């Protein structure tokens, strides 16, 4: 079970609108997933842009209050992850992950402690081999009309107490099957207390268990004054509860980058995503665009 991420807790749906369901970073990918009682298995095979095949197998097993995950890759990379919870402290979770790549003689280890409370989520991550750490705390105030978020993340590298930080505020409201979410983050480091600003807006309308949604993101660099706007939208093409749902998803930004995805479930076991992307400022020649396809079998 992976560790929590600060930005996902603050504005997860808005972040997913720009990162999830776009598969053109590889030429094609096939993923097979299976689950049994207390265990799950995932196998992937990918052809990347360098025309190289990359494969991996991961196993996830629950044993009482502990969770084990192991992943093996065909390039020699592998990791073992363990997470556990204490019945006397159900809000607390401890995770440890050991990653190693024998061909490159690279080893990495991280230890994470998380405390998830209804009004606050806190995490401390230590990477002992690199002598790095990160820590965040995010408060969640639930009011009758909405939810308010506020928190801070701090990182230190190579035994440095303070290297980078992020301060964040957020707002979320659900009304009449519509979800409204806003967030703002300020990034800084030792050299500049305020280097950049990122704002996110997300609006979603219920579509069964999913949502039709639109999102806007603004990135502003305070030093050089560069500003980038990003837009994303997701529309379902089938009725809620359809046996073979389909949706389209697109994104673009003021730098000219764009991507468009079409997702289709063919039956209860097979689904696929096709993505095409490129840069409108250079060329729109179909031969120079980035294409990607992913098939999921379960």
pTM for this predicted structure? 0.90
260 domain-assigned: no
297 domain-assigned: no
**What distance in Å separates the CA atoms of residue 132 and residue 144, rounded to the nearest whole number?**
40
212 domain-assigned: yes
Spell out a b/e string for 168-196, using b for 16 or more CB atoms within 10 Å of the CB, else e. Answer: bebebeeeeeebebbbbbbbeeeeeeeeb
According to the model, what pLDDT value does residue 120 have? 96
Residue 218 has pLDDT above 80, yes or no: yes
Query: Is there a contact between 157 and 132 (Cβ–Cβ < 8 Å)?
Result: yes
90 domain-assigned: yes
Query: Which sign does the torsion angle of CA 172, 174, 175, 176 carry?
Result: positive
Domains identified in the chain, total number? 1
Residue 283 has pLDDT above 70, yes or no: no
Cβ partners under 8 Å of residue 78, min gap 6: 70, 71, 72, 99, 100, 101
241 domain-assigned: no
As given in the structure block, the two tokens for residue 163 are 């290297």
> Which of 73-77, 101-105, 187-191, 197-201 has the largest mean confidence?
197-201
According to the model, what pLDDT value does residue 154 have? 96
Q: 34-45, pLDDT tens digit by residue?
A: 988 888 999 999
**CB count in 10 Å sphere of residue 46:** 19
Spell out a b/e string for 241-261, using b for 16 or more CB atoms within 10 Å of the CB, else e. Answer: eeeebebebbbbbeeeebbbb
277 domain-assigned: no
258 domain-assigned: no
94 domain-assigned: yes
**What distance in Å separates the CA atoms of residue 112 and residue 71, rounded to the nearest whole number?**
19
Q: 222-254, pLDDT tens digit by residue?
A: 988 999 999 999 999 999 989 999 999 999 999
Here the CATH number for the domain that contains residue 94 is 2.40.160.10
- If you average pLDDT over residues 169-185, what whole number do you get? 95
Residue 30 has pLDDT above 80, yes or no: yes
- What is the torsion angle, in degrees rounded to the nearest 10, for the CA atoms of residue 47, residue 48, residue 50 and residue 53? -40
User: Which residue range(s) make up the domain with 171?
Assistant: 6-223
Please classify residue 234 by burial: count the beta carbons closer than 10 Å to its beta carbon, then call 0-12 exposed, 13-18 middle and 19+ buried.
buried
As given in the structure block, the two tokens for residue 104 are 């490159």
According to the model, what pLDDT value does residue 1 have? 67
């Amino acid at each position: 079970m992976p560790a929590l991420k600060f930005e996902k807790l603050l504005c997860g749906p808005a972040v997913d609108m720009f990162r999830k369901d776009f598969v053109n970073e590889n030429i094609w990918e096939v993923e097979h997933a299976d689950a049994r009682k207390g265990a799950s298995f995932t196998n992937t095979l990918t052809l990347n842009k360098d025309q190289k095949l990359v494969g991996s197998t991961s196993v996830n097993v629950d044993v009482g209050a502990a969770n084990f995950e192991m992943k093996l890759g065909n390039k020699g990379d592998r990791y073992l992850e363990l997470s556990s919870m204490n019945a006397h402290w159900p809000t607390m979770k401890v995770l440890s992950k050991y990653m190693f790549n024998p061909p490159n003689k690279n080893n990495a280890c991280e230890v994470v402690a998380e405390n998830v409370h209804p009004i606050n989520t806190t995490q401390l991550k230590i990477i002992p081999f690199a002598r790095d750490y990160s820590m965040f705390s995010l408060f969640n105030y639930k009011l009758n009309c909405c939810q308010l978020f506020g928190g801070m993340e701090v990182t230190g590298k190579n035994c440095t107490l303070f290297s980078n930080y992020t301060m964040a505020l957020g707002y979320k409201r659900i009304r009449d099957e519509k979800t409204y979410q806003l967030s703002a983050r300020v990034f800084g480091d030792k050299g500049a207390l305020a280097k950049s600003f990122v704002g996110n807006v997300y609006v979603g309308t219920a579509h069964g268990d999913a949502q039709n949604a639109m999102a806007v993101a603004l990135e502003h660099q305070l030093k050089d004054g560069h500003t980038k706007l990003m837009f994303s939208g997701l529309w379902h093409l089938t009725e809620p509860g359809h046996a073979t749902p389909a949706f389209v998803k697109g994104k673009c930004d003021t730098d000219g980058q764009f991507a468009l995805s079409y997702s289709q479930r063919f039956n209860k076991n097979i689904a696929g995503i096709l993505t095409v992307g490129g840069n409108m400022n250079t060329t729109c020649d179909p031969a120079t665009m980035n294409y990607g396809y992913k098939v999921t079998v379960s």
